Copies of this chain bind each other. A is one copy, B any other.
Amino acid sequence: MSASVLLMSMSADGYIAGPDDRPGNPGGDDFMRLHEWYQNADGEVGRPEGEPGVIWDELNATGAVVVGRRTAEQVDYYGGDHHGVPLFVVSRNPPSIPYEQVRFVSDIETAMAQAKAVAGDKDVLVHGAATARAALQAGVLDELQLSQIPVLFGSGLRLFDVLPHRIELEIVRVIDTPRATHLRYRVRR
């Protein structure tokens, strides 16, 4: 069955972006520190070697993406192409952009329903802190794939911050590497 899966890299103290996160400095200062685990020796992004490669493969096997407008704008909607699948952006005030694969939806429930319909039996990739919280609160997030990096950022943007109620998780998989601890959780309902 198709699942909605949040995919994020975060510091051991829960930050997914550094200070001064804005267009022009997406992810804030030192953002790439959280993403070294899928960079090779030349600093190029790609499928990581060894066990974490499965996370890369799972990402590329998803059939749709749901992302918040703030996150999407910071990276220019991934140039209109996130591994070739439809990109659903949650926004009540959609801008005019030239990308055919990008679809604006006013709320997270509708975005997830449309994304799941498009994805069929494939999973839906969810990205962004605000979108993650909205999906958790609306009860439409199924799993979390968190790559926890051995660094304390100390400040920046938190992934979870404050939620309105306690949410129980189930540990589905732990991949233990020197660069990151990759934790996969299922939301208990």
Task: State the A residues within 8 Å of B (CB).
Answer: 12-14, 30, 33, 136, 146, 148, 150-155, 158-160, 162-171, 174, 176-178, 181, 183, 185
Contact = CB atoms under 8 A, between A and B. Distances in A.
Given A13-B14, A166-B153, A171 B176 contact: yes
B181 A166 contact: no
A29 to B, nearest CB: 9
A150 B185 contact: yes
A137 B158 CA distance: 20
Contact of A163 (B33, B152, B164): B152
A54 to B, nearest CB: 16
Contacts of A12: 146, 160, 169, 183, 185
- Number of identical monomers bound together in the oligomeric complex: 2
A182 to B, nearest CB: 10
Nearest to A12: B169
Given A181-B171, A181-B174, A181-B183, A152 B160 contact: yes
A173 to B, nearest CB: 9
Given A171-B176, A176-B174, A164 B154 contact: yes
Given A171-B181, A174-B174, A166 B14 contact: no
B14 A160 contact: yes
Nearest to A167: B152
B14 A163 contact: no
Given A14-B14, A14-B160, A160-B13, A166 B154 contact: yes
20 contacts: A12-B146, A12-B160, A13-B14, A14-B14, A136-B152, A150-B168, A150-B171, A151-B166, A151-B169, A152-B160, A152-B169, A153-B163, A154-B160, A154-B162, A154-B163, A154-B165, A154-B167, A171-B181, A176-B176, A181-B183
Contacts of A151: 166-169
